[in-house]
Structure 1
């Protein structure tokens, strides 16, 4: 059989075996990528994605990585089709691509794609994306306050790193000469090449074992199954229009000018439209979102999380293109979620997280047992950099944790990436070994409480990083003005904050906006980031008093809040509950 025979029905056992093979290939690709990489953002944080795709650019399988990465690769493939060097794929080709106006998620996320040939014919693709330390932008590592996409660094569109198996030395030299962290960048790209080539090899082995027609028939059946399951879940939502709004702090330049995010969901039968009309116009900085590579991907991820979460589903639904098909995404051209070229669009993650947060909020009235309260729905992405005595740059990228909102049956998880993010923290030992920095503080936030509720919000992180030499800091974060929302009687959470001070004078604090670019700091200066605390779910008076006692003893709830918010009376000296007084107080407060 050939791929054109892929309409045959594959028996259930073979179908599951092939499904397992797809998933194993994607996981192996992701594993090779992060194990072979040199920069900590890939090697430790695992800011990456990998998978296999057919010639129509459908996602056949994806690694269990950051959703924004893997979901965006079909957009990259469509962009590569528009820009491909030579205009044709050959065996042995390896393409690198990152152009945000040709499908990429944003410029630092380089995709590496290898075509899969079987018996001399192109049958699919193996690809991955990863976030790179520095691609030569206006500021090291990250950028926010820049005028256009050309200030974001190298723009690579359909460029062949290898052509028919032979390296394109000119482009490799170009990449080396245009990055402050050239060796890390080149080594990480080489890891991506190895990962993609392995995926292509495994794809061919799978076809050779089961036959081309059987493999692609199975792929089509698995995509159809994911589509049916997504449609079934959407059909359970009452038809209607659901709207929610929130605010972003600023665009990184125009302070005090908040930006609206408006989400309207139109549910009709087994389909849903995510309409972002009414959101802010595009900004003059990099605080915009590429439509194909990021906006659409975030909307797809939102419904995957809400409706197909493996922890609460009876069956595990494969992660593939099928689950995207019932979801339409609309954003007016010229808006923050669909900017016009050549607007810069590098700092795009938090807007996507807030979109997902608002999708959840809009559906809360009709899905009370599936939604959560407001999460931090932000990202703290910091770039620290400096120049060594040798004249070489050091650059360190770090993603700091946030917190989830309270849930229908449990508290919000503390100090963890949330919603679109899925990166790991960077070990402090690794930091000190490679970079002239020291972490002075890394713990759960204790200066402000999480949102109170029957199930409280998650607690954010405090991370204080000290540079040991003069350095530059660029920081992309959010939610310094719009606290995570409470659900069904729960209280709102706490906004985030960012402080700069010198370790020799810790009381001389400078409070920073949520995002800033290229801040020059001196030796022993510290950036302390406090991520938002999640909102509470349900009436605080229904919270189990024993849990309130635990939070008081752990320092996450004051004695006063235990009494005034939760109606719980605690004898701190004995570390015990006054059960009778608590019952009386709660009865009075309920009345």
Structure 2
């Protein structure tokens, strides 16, 4: 006998109820976490996954989009291991920990907790979250090794194991983890916050099932998946059929000073899109290889940028067909180093999708955004507090111009909603002083609608000694302009020491730079690409840009082909 169709009101209430469960997990995680990268920068995500397939059911609105795909894949990896290994069979109260990039992951610093959710004795679903740990061991503080050539150099790699067994923390596994990472004494706060978020999800999901019944909620989940697929297919049908080509470039892999190229071919046919990246650069020696889960997720988030109104669940991605890019740096296999995959390469993949599809839908797309998370880690010892530390800085950049206006300045990265930790917080936690935090004037790509601007910041070490490492991008070429627009400004890094000025040979990637008291780190992030012919920019907009100091008069004349008088004149 066919099930009675679920009524629309109940469907939308359950949809929002599932979303609210994830949102509460997000809030509990960030409010309880010790590390500023989680509590302030919001580099984390929470979701609900299907009990049998591990497919995405719902994800928190405050989570990073790049985790949409990867958390689904890592949950599926846990399910597969649990089925094959009796000792890993799920029981109420268990929490698995995993960060293996090759098992549906990203880089090692993104640590996932996965919890089986039982309702009335039956495994109903899985709850999962990801938190960016400020250190996971490896060659350099913070994990962003720019020179690593194998994953063991990047830190501790964890296969799916039970960190909590029937509600009790396994002290032996915990001791192994804490013995292999820096600032281990500060990690227990993040671990308990991450586990507590899943407990909150367990309570809220139980309440939802108690109210509506497991059968009705399961029916709603299946219906929501089908509707998301239908909605995405409907949006895809608005794109003209055809084959579209795009390209994006990674500055270098941090070891070999040559660019890595992403060749993107998008074939749109009826209600599906096929993505082929097989012409991209081969696997690289340095840490800019991307694991396949991150590559898939990058495609998903790029399309979600284009069609933001389609709800997120497993059905959203069904019409998106990705050809596995074997023998390229976008399909990393053990032991390739991968620390830059989620933070940087993922954004180049998304840019390649944008670059291809802007030809088909110029009114919906935009020039390339800054496209780098600006990963900077400073690790050292603070003699005043008598403890070691690892400071992790995420920085914003300019968004690309679009047909309706200019790009946003100092926006978050393409892959997420993470924000820069307030500098007051970082100065309170760490022995540093931010001497500058300003707009990177002139960095917006010229266009009829210009790109947004990046930021400049300068950090001075106040006490002790430290080592700096960074994995950034767009130091060789700026974010691409489209439809005649100019590329955005470059990412730059400069270190001022008593011995003189130092610029990394790879421009935006380096590691183990010794920093002494009084030394300064200067970083400028990229601006967004310009949209359309710069000569068509409204003179009134140019006058405003000049008045606000965004460009100099000479820059406006050279880059926009117009001379503008200042308001003062």
TM-score tier (shorter): over 0.9
Deviation at 1:146, TM superposition (A): 1.8
The answer to whether the Cα contact below 8 Å between 2:291 and 2:333 also exists between their aligned partners in 1 is no
2:78 counterpart SS class: helix
Instruction: Give 1:181-580 correspondences, 5 Å limit.
Output: 181-255=183-257, 257-292=258-293, 294-307=294-307, 309-310=308-309, 317-348=310-341, 349-389=343-383, 392-446=387-441, 448-468=442-462, 469-502=464-497, 508-512=500-504, 513-566=507-560, 568-572=562-566, 574-575=567-568
The answer to whether the Cα contact below 8 Å between 2:306 and 2:365 also exists between their aligned partners in 1 is yes
Which piece of structure 1 moves more, 14-23 or 171-180? 171-180
Aligned to 1:105: 106
The superposition leaves residues 451-490 of structure 1 with CA deviations (integer Å, 9 ceiling, x where unpaired) of: 1112111111111112223210110101111222222222
Q: Give the distance between the partners of 1:535 and 1:283, measured in 2 at CA.
A: 27
Q: 1:109 to 1:8 in 2, by over 3 A?
A: farther
1:67 counterpart SS class: coil
Q: Give the distance between the partners of 2:167 and 2:36, measured in 1 at CA.
A: 29
Q: Does 1:30 align with 2:26?
A: yes
Deviation at 1:284, TM superposition (A): 1.8
Q: Give the distance between the partners of 1:116 and 1:381, measured in 2 at CA.
A: 35
The superposition leaves residues 359-380 of structure 1 with CA deviations (integer Å, 9 ceiling, x where unpaired) of: 1111111101011012222221
Q: Give the distance between the partners of 1:237 and 1:164, measured in 2 at CA.
A: 50
Q: Give the distance between the partners of 2:155 and 2:138, measured in 1 at CA.
A: 4
Deviation at 1:552, TM superposition (A): 0.5
Deviation at 1:395, TM superposition (A): 0.5
TM-score, normalising length: structure 1:
0.91
1:213 counterpart SS class: helix
Within the candidate set 60, 63, 70, 2:57 is matched to 60
Q: Does 1:158 align with 2:160?
A: yes
1:102 counterpart SS class: coil
Which piece of structure 1 moves more, 246-255 or 426-435? 246-255
Deviation at 1:247, TM superposition (A): 2.1
The answer to whether the Cα contact below 8 Å between 1:126 and 1:197 also exists between their aligned partners in 2 is no
RMSD: 1.8
The answer to whether the Cα contact below 8 Å between 2:483 and 2:533 also exists between their aligned partners in 1 is yes
1:73 counterpart SS class: helix
The superposition leaves residues 331-380 of structure 1 with CA deviations (integer Å, 9 ceiling, x where unpaired) of: 33332110121212122121110111111111111101011012222221
Aligned to 1:42: 38
The answer to whether the Cα contact below 8 Å between 1:69 and 1:130 also exists between their aligned partners in 2 is no
Deviation at 1:6, TM superposition (A): 10
Q: Give the distance between the partners of 1:564 and 1:473, measured in 2 at CA.
A: 37
Q: Give the distance between the partners of 2:564 and 2:149, measured in 1 at CA.
A: 56
Aligned to 1:133: 134
The answer to whether the Cα contact below 8 Å between 1:6 and 1:217 also exists between their aligned partners in 2 is no
Q: Where does the alignment leave 5 or more consecutive residues of structure 1 unmatched?
A: 311-316, 577-591
Which piece of structure 1 moves more, 89-98 or 412-421? 412-421
The superposition leaves residues 70-92 of structure 1 with CA deviations (integer Å, 9 ceiling, x where unpaired) of: 43211111221243461310011
Aligned to 1:588: none
The superposition leaves residues 504-550 of structure 1 with CA deviations (integer Å, 9 ceiling, x where unpaired) of: 78xx4322221112222222211111111111112223322221111
Deviation at 1:391, TM superposition (A): 6.8
2:301 counterpart SS class: helix
TM-score, normalising length: structure 2:
0.94
Q: 1:120 to 1:540 in 2, by over 3 A?
A: same
Q: 1:82 to 1:221 in 2, by over 3 A?
A: closer
2:328 counterpart SS class: coil
1:535 counterpart SS class: coil
Aligned to 2:73: 75
Deviation at 1:565, TM superposition (A): 4.2
Deviation at 1:304, TM superposition (A): 0.9
The superposition leaves residues 276-305 of structure 1 with CA deviations (integer Å, 9 ceiling, x where unpaired) of: 11111112222211112x111110111111
Q: Give the distance between the partners of 2:161 and 2:451, measured in 1 at CA.
A: 46
Q: Give the distance between the partners of 2:531 and 2:2, measured in 1 at CA.
A: 48
The answer to whether the Cα contact below 8 Å between 2:443 and 2:454 also exists between their aligned partners in 1 is no
The answer to whether the Cα contact below 8 Å between 2:54 and 2:79 also exists between their aligned partners in 1 is no
The answer to whether the Cα contact below 8 Å between 2:495 and 2:520 also exists between their aligned partners in 1 is yes
The answer to whether the Cα contact below 8 Å between 2:92 and 2:166 also exists between their aligned partners in 1 is yes
The superposition leaves residues 140-184 of structure 1 with CA deviations (integer Å, 9 ceiling, x where unpaired) of: 112232232222222221111111222211011222222211133
Q: Give the distance between the partners of 2:494 and 2:137, measured in 1 at CA.
A: 27
Q: Give the distance between the partners of 2:325 and 2:453, measured in 1 at CA.
A: 36
Which piece of structure 1 moves more, 120-129 or 342-351? 342-351
The answer to whether the Cα contact below 8 Å between 2:377 and 2:393 also exists between their aligned partners in 1 is yes
Deviation at 1:568, TM superposition (A): 4.4
Aligned to 1:11: 7
